[in-house]
Amino acid sequence: MELKKILATRRSVRKYLDRKVEKEVLQRVVDMALSAPSSRNTRSTRLWVVTDKRQLEIISQMRDYGAAFVKDAPAAILVMGDKDKTDLWLDNCAITATILQLAVVDEGLASCWVHVNDRPVKREEPAGEKADTLLRRELGIPENYGILCAIALGYSDFQPADLPAYEGEERVKWL
């Protein structure tokens, strides 16, 4: 798909058809995402592809706000960074996650970013357990991996509205 079309089509979708995403499709998405640039070519980003129902449920419970829909997603990809490789692991993760979301559109799927890094499990307890601590414990994620987000994905259950045009002049300044 043409990049302009991909950018115009991408919306956050949280409701998916009850349809498995084929392994080869997931593989192509991962391949495209891992073509992302990285600081000093450190290639610190790690992707874990989750299709197991129980593990998707764990991800859906990592926060009591904004993550529940992951339970019914056919897949989610955890975007993590090896902190031993670079102090810019978060930046590298964010670039990879963004390209991943565009790759998802290219494959005819839809996705939604579900934030992990530094978010509390309970919205009302900001100083309590963090979502990344919960995921690390429940999914056996190594200590040296920081977790930026999960990208939930699947075939969209509906046709999302087009992206609105960006607002006013404060978004861009011409010097």
Ligand X SMILES: Cc1cc2nc3c(=O)[nH]c(=O)nc-3n(C[C@H](O)[C@H](O)[C@H](O)COP(=O)(O)O)c2cc1C
Which residues of this protein are in contact with ligand X, per CB under 6 A? 11-12, 14, 66, 112-115, 163
> Is the CB of residue 82 less than 8 Å from the CB of residue 31?
no
Return the number of other C-beta atoms located less than 10 Å from residue 150's C-beta.
30
Q: How far is the CB of 115 from ligand X (least distance, A)?
A: 4
Distance CA 142, CA 129 (A): 17
Distance CA 106, CA 98 (A): 13
Query: Which residue's CB is nearer to ligand X, number 26 or number 100?
Result: 100
Cα radius of gyration (the chain) = 16
* Residue 26 buriedness (CB in 10 A; 0-12 / 13-18 / 19+): buried
Query: Which residue's CB is nearer to ligand X, number 34 or number 160?
Result: 160
Q: How far is the CB of 24 from ligand X (least distance, A)?
A: 26
Q: How far is the CB of 144 from ligand X (least distance, A)?
A: 22
Query: Which residue's CB is nearer to ligand X, number 66 or number 71?
Result: 66
Q: How far is the CB of 113 from ligand X (least distance, A)?
A: 4
Query: Which residue's CB is nearer to ligand X, number 165 or number 175?
Result: 165
